[in-house]
Amino acid sequence: MSLASPQLVTLRALLERLIPADDFPGALAAGTDHFIVALLAGDAADEATGIALGLEQLDAEAVARHGTERTFASLAIGQQDALLLALERGEPATPWPMPPTAAAFLNRMVTLTAEGFYADPANGGNRDAASWRMVGYDPRLPPDPSAP
Amino acid sequence: MKADGFDVIIVGAGLGGGIAAGVLAEAGRRVLLLERGSALGYRDIPGDHLRHHRLTAYGDNTTRDAVGHPRVFVDPSGATRTVLPRDADYHHNAFTVGGGARVWGMQAWRFHPDDFRMASRYGTPAGSSLADWPLAYADLAPFYERAEDEIGVAGDHAATRYAPRDRAYPLPPVPLSPTGAWLARGAAALGWDHFAPPLAVNTVPRHGRSACVQCRQCIGFACPTDARNGSHNTLLPRALATDRCTLVTRAHVARVLTDASGRAAGVEYFAPTAPGSAQLSRHTARARTIILAGGAIETARLLLLSASPRHPRGLGNHSDHVGRHLQGHYYPVVSGLLPPGVENPNLGPGVCLATTRFNHGNPGVIGGAMLANDFVKLPIIFWREHLPPDVPRWGLANKRAMRDLYLRGIDLRGPVQEIPSPDSRVTLDPVVLDRFGLPVARLSGTTHPETVRTAEFIRARAEDWLRAAGAERVWSSPLSLRLSAAQHQAGTARLAADPRDGVTDPWGRVHGHDNLWITDGSLHVTNGGFNPALTIMALAFRAAEKIARSG
């Protein structure tokens, strides 16, 4: 399955908080959202339903904490971070109807985001090797490998 | 394909099988080498940082047929799960021509002389199956040397004092990095021996292949210059060059056939109907000698799958040892931060300094481990495993820690010799079948709890080392009791002089089956406080030489 449009908006807002931009691009600028969407349609397809539900629940959390008409993406940065910290502590404001629990969902999204952002650019979430340039990593593979 | 006319059938083209193929083909034998994986070139093994043999959450870079080949894992609480190779509980090793050595870390250690006499030195703890090997270090020493010479090991023979070589290694040792030099000062301050670990890598060009270029995508990946040594680029090409070795890939052996006298007569296997065909069909091949080298999990499974009316519990299972004593290594990992000013060029392979100070003679614990620094680290591995524990897992603080600390990370680890348990084992699952309808391997039990005590002792010594070197911070996590096998899997068809004590005779021949041999880690009575590959290789050379001489 693929994520619906509102879920993609929530996903992108979430990525901005998990690995924000600073002097170096953050996860969103590096294309990590594309990595996650592709992974949920491929090797992590069994997780796609749970993650889609979790992204919807982030909006429910925004409503419960800040009133109707709000979505996670529409919150201020400080509000988003406070919400995520509460989930991480296992203190959601809404009942999470399924596994993963709120904390497990956040933990999984943190891992997926880091995997996309810090993996090789061919995985799609580390455009122009942005994270590798930031940490000082280059695989230094020979341009003309002699191995058969 | 021509299914008869072979002298020897070898199951598995990893280190043990590839070596046996080379020795026996060069000795004039006609060899059929059956490998369940494919022959993969450098470009066939992707440099995917999320799918390789140190990070398999979404798959790996050598497995081509995960679906249809599950295993069943029983955790210590008794809960049962069906697992695929990407799951850590599968205890996977690479399924490909060359085996795990296509992607290994290349540490090519001899076991310590006392590793062969653990029960004599320490006694056997209640509930464990700790035993002496039915051979001594001296019996294996010439074959260690042969493996080092023919596979190609780089090392410092004068400094490797616990297991001395008379002559220099065939390749000069890996260079000492600035972080290695920093660790050496720490070891010297503590009065610990320290030296360049032996690695099976071309530190200089050899036998027509290039030297290591110290790239940063090493362990878990294929080598871009073919400088990583194994059977796939030494003994196996030699076997094929004789024209007496037929390698069949994607060949899954279903059972070993035995005759009325108990002798192995041949094997049944599933393999492509015609070369290159996607369709697999059943084949039978016969030979005078059969050698199993599929790793400790699959070799045990095959012995059990080969039950017959005469051997209802499986071949070699006369004393209920097949599949038991499954072991690998416990790895305490201690992380720290290099102090400012210590240069870290972060070059591969990365492992360049080791101590064997704690392999034996540790107060109050059994055995011990070699300790060394680790391989060059991918950023995603560093993120997963090596950030300080108080760094938040997300947000700007996490990103800045990655930026500031990636090149300051240092970690030590060591393969702790396990105290085996008969309850850590491979059996045939009563329910789950593979794509051919054969019961899959079921892994259950744990190693003996004494192993955890030794591992905790070693973890504390690794912390001592980083602190003595001047690490800015040092941290690690305690180890807990679990089943351990994975890439260092061993013990499931152990050597024993007396058939009551094990599966194979002191040469690796299955008791009761004169012409059925094993040349993989299954043979190991104990698995040493070292990476086990060189011992697998030495035993394979020794067994193959014996078979070659037996006419």
Residue A123 to residue A115: CA distance in whole angstroms: 9
Specify whether the CB–CB gap between B17 and B520 falls below 8 A.
Answer: yes
Write down the pLDDT at residue A100.
76
pLDDT at B377 over 70: yes
What CATH number should be reported for the domain holding residue B399? 3.50.50.60
Phi, psi of B383 (to 5 degrees): -60, -45
Per-residue pLDDT of B461-520, as tens digits, reads 999 999 999 999 999 999 999 999 999 999 999 999 999 999 999 999 999 999 999 999
Write down the pLDDT at residue B33.
98
Burial of B71 (0-12, 13-18, 19+ CB in 10 A): buried
B406: its two tokens = 């990636």
B402:A22 CB<8 A: no
Q: Between B57, B222, B380, which is nearest A147 by CB? A: B222
Residue B178 to residue B158: CA distance in whole angstroms: 22
Percentage above 90 pLDDT, chain A: 93
Q: For the residues A13-18, what does the mean pLDDT come to?
A: 98
B406:A123 CB<8 A: no
Q: For the residues B48-67, what does the mean pLDDT come to?
A: 94
Long-range pairs for A61-65 at CB < 8 Å and ≥24 separation? A61/A87, A61/A92, A61/A93, A61/A94, A61/A102, A64/A93, A64/A94, A65/A93
A139:B216 CB<8 A: yes
Q: For the residues A55-81, what does the mean pLDDT come to?
A: 96
Burial of A43 (0-12, 13-18, 19+ CB in 10 A): middle
Write down the pLDDT at residue B4.
67
From chain B, the residues in CB contact with A35 under 8 A are none
pTM over 0.80: yes
The residue assigned the tokens 């299955």 is B510
Q: Between A20, A120, A141, which is nearest B215 by CB? A: A141
Measured between CA atoms, how close is A61 to chain B, in angstroms?
19
Write down the pLDDT at residue B277.
87
From chain B, the residues in CB contact with A110 under 8 A are 393-394
pLDDT at B3 over 60: no
Phi, psi of B522 (to 5 degrees): -55, -30
Domain-embedded: residue B409: yes
Domain ranges of chain A: 5-130
Residue B72 to residue B491: CA distance in whole angstroms: 19
With CA atoms as reference, the chain B residue closest to A136 would be: B407
Say which DSSP state A73 is in. Answer: G
pLDDT at A141 over 50: yes
Write down the pLDDT at residue A97.
77
With CA atoms as reference, the chain A residue closest to B58 would be: A43
The better pLDDT of the pair B67, B134 is held by B134
Write down the pLDDT at residue A9.
97
Per-residue pLDDT of B166-190, as tens digits, reads 999 999 999 999 999 999 999 999 9
From chain A, the residues in CB contact with B222 under 8 A are 147
Residue B322 to residue B277: CA distance in whole angstroms: 35
pLDDT tier at B2 (50, 70, 90 boundaries)?
A: very low
What is the SS3 assignment for B199?
strand
Give chain B's domain count. Answer: 1
B394:A113 CB<8 A: yes
pLDDT tier at A80 (50, 70, 90 boundaries)?
A: very high
Q: Which residues contact B100 (CB under 8 A, 6 or more apart)?
A: B14, B15, B53, B93, B94, B487, B533
Measured between CA atoms, how close is B83 to chain A, in angstroms?
14
Per-residue pLDDT of B195-233, as tens digits, reads 999 999 999 999 999 999 999 999 999 999 999 999 999
Tally Cβ neighbours within 10 Å of residue A121: 16
Q: Between A114, A137, A146, which is nearest B216 by CB? A: A137
Strand pairing category for B31-35 and B245-249: parallel
pLDDT at B16 over 90: yes
B395:A20 CB<8 A: yes
B41:A146 CB<8 A: no
pLDDT at B1 over 90: no
For chain A, give the number of residues: 148
Write down the pLDDT at residue B351.
97
Alpha-helix residue ranges (DSSP H) falling in B40-130: 118-122
Domain-embedded: residue B273: yes
Write down the pLDDT at residue B278.
87
Per-residue pLDDT of B94-117, as tens digits, reads 999 999 999 999 999 999 999 999
Measured between CA atoms, how close is B94 to chain A, in angstroms?
18
Query: For residue B254, what are the domain limits?
Result: 8-549
From chain B, the residues in CB contact with A84 under 8 A are 394
Domain-embedded: residue B376: yes
Tally Cβ neighbours within 10 Å of residue B309: 6
A147:B379 CB<8 A: no
**Cα atoms found within 13 Å of the Cα of residue B517, Cβ hemisphere only:** 28
Q: For the residues B115-120, what does the mean pLDDT come to?
A: 98
Measured between CA atoms, how close is B26 to chain A, in angstroms?
23
Cis peptide before A100 (omega within 30 of 0): yes
Amino acid identity of B90? Y
Per-residue pLDDT of B67-76, as tens digits, reads 899 999 999 9
Domain-embedded: residue B2: no
From chain B, the residues in CB contact with A15 under 8 A are none
A141:B407 CB<8 A: no
Tally Cβ neighbours within 10 Å of residue A9: 17
Q: Which residues of B469-495 are buried (b: 16+ CB within 10 A; e: fewer)?
A: bbbeebbbeebeeebbbbbbbbbbbbb
Q: Between A119, A134, A147, which is nearest B403 by CB? A: A134
- The mean pLDDT value of chain B amounts to 97
Residue A107 to residue A118: CA distance in whole angstroms: 16
Q: Which residues pair with B286 in a beta bridge?
A: B266
Mean pLDDT lowest among B63-67, B157-161, B173-177, B448-452: B63-67
Q: Which of A22, A140, A144 to mutate to test the interface with B (most CBs of B within 10 A)?
A: A140
Per-residue pLDDT of A22-46, as tens digits, reads 999 999 999 999 999 999 999 999 9
Q: What is the DSSP string of B208-264?
A: TBPPP---S--TTS--TTS-B-SGGGTHHHHHHHTT-EEEEES-EEEEEEE-TTS-E
Write down the pLDDT at residue A3.
86
Q: Which of B394, B396, B405 to mutate to test the interface with A (most CBs of A within 10 A)?
A: B394
